[in-house]
Amino acid sequence: MQRIVIFLSVLFALQLPAKADEGMWLPFMISEELYEEMARMGLNLTPEEVFSFTEPGIKDAVVSFGGFCTAEIISDRGLLLTNHHCGYGRIQNHSSVDNDLLTNGFWAMSTEEELPNEGLFVRFLVSVEEVTLKILEAVTPEMTEQERILAIRERSRELSDAATEGTHYTATVSSMFAGNFFYLFTYETFNDVRLAGAPPSSIGAFGGDTDNWEWPRHTGDFALFRVYTAPDGSPAAYDPENIPLRPRYHLPISLRGVGENDFAMILGYAGRTERYLTSFGIDYRLEYMYPVRIDIRRRKLDILERAMAESDTLRIQYASKHAGIANYWKNFIGMSESLRRLEVARTKRELEDRFGSWVAADPVRQERFGEVLEDFRGVYEGLHDFRSHPYVFAETMLTGPDAISLARFYNTIYTMLEEDEDEEAIAREARRLREIAERSFRGFDREVDRELWAAMFATYHEYVPEEDLPDVFARIQAEFDGDFERYAEAVYETSIFANPDAMMEFLESPTSAVLSEDLAMSAVQSVFEASARLNERIAEHNRKLQRAERLFLKGLLEMDPFVPYYPDANRTMRFTYGSVNGYQPRDAVTYHYHTTLSGVMEKEDPNHHEFVVPEKLRQLYEEGDFGEYAHNERMVVNFITSNDITGGNSGSPVINDDGHLIGVAFDANWEGMSGDILFEHELQRAINVDIRYVLFIIDRFAGASHLIDEMTIVR
C-alpha cells in the first residue's frame, strides 16, 4: 500500500479536541493525543485495530452503501447491515400490490431467495495517499480561480488514472480544508448486492415523518443486504453463479448493551458539513434558501400525499420519492429554526472578528488575508441579485416532474439527429435511452406527474423575476392564457415523455421533428438554457467564494495552530467518538439515553399509518418474549450518543470500547439540527438502533435465526 504523508501543519491542527464529542476525524490521522483521549474515555483498541492498511481491522468492515449511506459487514459471508431508509428505494422496487414488501417486510430464508438490486453497489476503502504537493504543482500564482480549478481537476484525473492503471480499483482526489490539502482515495467496488432481509415499515419506519429528526424515537431502522463476488472473489456484475463475499473483516456483535457514559465510536461515509460557513452565508441561507426549499417541498409533498392516499399502487410507486422529499423538508425547517434559536451567526461573527483582528495586527497577514472578509461580504451581496434562483430551479425542475428528468436525457440524440450523425451511433444512443425509459416509467403515473408539472411551472413563475423567466413562459401566456393547468394537460396529452408507448415508438425510428415539436422537450430546453445563462453569472460569485473560503481556512489554521480544526465531511470515511448520554433540550426537561418497546406501545395508533404496530410484535411484547436480547426484562429499541454525525452516516456502525457492534446510526435530534454548521456540545445527539433490537426482530419477530447463526455474537 502507498504510505500516507501527513503535513505537519495538519498534525498540529488535529492535536487535541476541545470537546471529546466534536469532530468528524480522518481515521488515518489518529494522532497519539487523539488516541490517548479515546483511551481515557474507555477505548480498549489500538489505532491499528481501528484503521490499518496492512492488517484487517474495523475500517475493512465499513462500506459506502450506494454512495449515499454507510453499511457494515457483520458476517464472514458478506452479510451487510444498514438502515431501512437507506434500502427503502430497493425494497420499494421489489414491492407490488400483490407482494408489498414495504408493508409486510421481507426475509430470505436462504441465499437463493435473496433479491438482486440493479445499480446498487458497495465500496471498500483500499488506500489513501496525501497528494497536496502533487496537486499544487499544477497551480501558479498568476492563475485565475477558474484556471486553478481546471488545473486541479486535470491533475486529479491524472493521479487517479495512474493509481488505478491495470487494476479494477477506482480512485478519486478529495479536497480538504477548502482546497488547502488533497488526498487520493482508492476504492474497491462490488456491484452485486442483494436484499437479504427487511422489517415491515411499521417497524423499520415506525413514527414516519412525525418522529423524523426527533427524540425520543422508537424505530427499528435497519435492513440486511449481502455482497456477492465472482467465484474467484473479485467484483462482478450480478450472476446467479456469484458467491457471498469473504470479507477481510466483519464486526463482532455485542449483547452487553449500553449504559450511560459508555464509550461509543462511529465510522462512516459522512456526507457534507459546512463547519466553516461564515455569518454572511448563514444570513443568506436564512433569507434565500431555507424558506424557498421548505415551501416548494411542501407543495410537492401535498400532491404526492393526496395521490398516495388514493391507492396502494400509487403509495408503493411514490413511497421512496416521498420519503426523500420529506426527509430534508423537515431538515430545512429544523436547520433554520436552530440557526436562529442558537444564534449561530453571532457565534460565527465572533470568530470572524477575531480573524480580522489577527490579520490587521501584521502587514504580511494583511497582504495575504486582508480582503477575505470583505470578499465574503461582496459575494453574498452579489448573490442577493439572483434571489433564490438556484434553489427554485433545483426544487421545481431538477427534482420536479419525472417527465423533465426523462427529457433531459434526449439532448444528445436530438443533436445527433439534427446533425445527421451516422445511423449506427444514433441506434446505440436509442438503445441506451430505451433502458432509461424502461426504468423511468416503472414508477410513473401520468396524472400525478401532470399535477407536479403544473404546480412546479406555476411555482417557478411565482418565484423567478419576470426578466429572468425562460421563453417557455411567454408561450404559456400566449397559447394558454397563463393557465398552468391547461398547459400541463396539453403537455401530457401530446408528449412522448408522458407516454411509454409513444416513447418506445419514437426510439424505434427517432427523428428530430418529433423532438422539436414535443412540448415537454421544448420546455426543458428553454428552462435549462435560461438557467445556464443565469449560472454563468452566478459562477463568478461562486469562484470568488471558493477563493475566499480557501484563504479563510488557511488563515484559521495559521491563527490557531493548536485548535482542533478538522476538515469538513465530504463523503470520505470519518470516525467520531463520544459517549452514551441523554440531554436537556430546554428548562426542566431531561431526555433519557434510551427508549424501549414500551414506548412503541404507548405511541401505537391503528388509525395513523405511521404508528401502526404489527400484531406479532404486540404479542411478543405482551408475552415478554425477548429471548436473550432484553435488558432487565425490557427491550431497548433506540439509544443516543454524543457522536458527531451528518447525512451519509445513516447506516454507520456504532462500536463500543472493545470494537464490537452495539448499534446502527440512523438520525440526529431536532435540537441539534444546526450541527452541520456549528456543533452544539450540550444538545447534539446521534440517534441509533440498539443492535439487540435488530437481533430481536430478526430472531423472534421474523424467525430468521439462520441470519444470526452466521454472525459473531459476543455474549
Estimate the crossing angle of helix 472-480 against helix 484-494, to 10 degrees: 100
List CB contacts of 339: < 8 A, sequence separation 6 or more.
282, 285, 286, 345, 674, 677
C-alpha cell belonging to residue 167: 487494476
Coil vs helix vs strand at 471: coil
Fill in the amino acid letter for 3: R
DSSP 25: B
Instruction: Locate all alpha helices (DSSP H) within 443-569, ordered by sequence.
Output: 446-463, 472-480, 484-494, 500-508, 512-517, 519-559
Return all residues near 496 (Cβ < 8 A) that are at least 6 apart.
Answer: 502, 503, 505, 506, 514, 518, 520
Task: Name residues whose C-beta falls within 8 Å of residue 615's C-beta, 6 or more positions apart in sequence.
Answer: none
Among residues 21, 221, 449, 676, the one annotated as catalytic is 221
For residue 430 the three cell numbers come to 436509442
Q: What separation in angstroms does the CA of 473 have from each of 150, 193, 453, 454, 528? A: 35, 45, 13, 12, 13
Q: 94: helix, coil or strand? A: coil
Question: Is 85 designated active site?
Answer: yes
The grid cell for 341 is 434559536
Classify residue 617 as left (phi > 0), alpha (psi -120 to 50) or beta.
alpha
Cell numbers that stand for 347 in this block: 457565534
β-strand 106-107 against 192-198: which pairing, if any? antiparallel
Catalytic residue among 31, 279, 531, 650: 650
d(CA 570, CA 522): 36
C-alpha cell at 551: 484563504
In whole angstroms, give the CA distance from residue 268 to residue 575. 7
- If residue 188 lies in a helix (H) or strand (E), which one and from where to where? strand 181-190
Q: Which of 64, 75, 84, 85 is catalytic?
A: 85
Residue in the structure block whose three cell numbers are 470519518: 574
> Distance between CA atoms of 525 and 527, rounded to whole angstroms?
6
The 8 Å CB, 24+ separation contacts for 91-94 are 91/195, 91/198, 91/223, 92/316, 92/319, 92/320, 93/117, 93/442, 94/195
Which residues make Cβ contacts (< 8 Å) with residue 500, sequence separation at least 6?
437, 441, 444
Q: Is 650 a catalytic residue?
A: yes
Q: Buried (b) or exposed (e) across 27-44, using 16+ Cβ within 10 A? A: bbbbbeebeeebeebbbe
Cα–Cα distance for residue pair 405/361, rounded to 1 Å: 53
Determine the 3-state secondary structure of 459 from DSSP: helix
CA 647 → CA 185, 514, 651, 671, 676, distances in Å?
Answer: 20, 42, 10, 16, 9
Distances (CA, A) of 600 to 496, 597, 688: 48, 5, 15
Residues 70, 649: Cα–Cα separation, whole Å = 6
CA distance linking residue 368 with residue 496, whole number of Å: 57
> Which active-site residues does the annotation give?
85, 221, 650
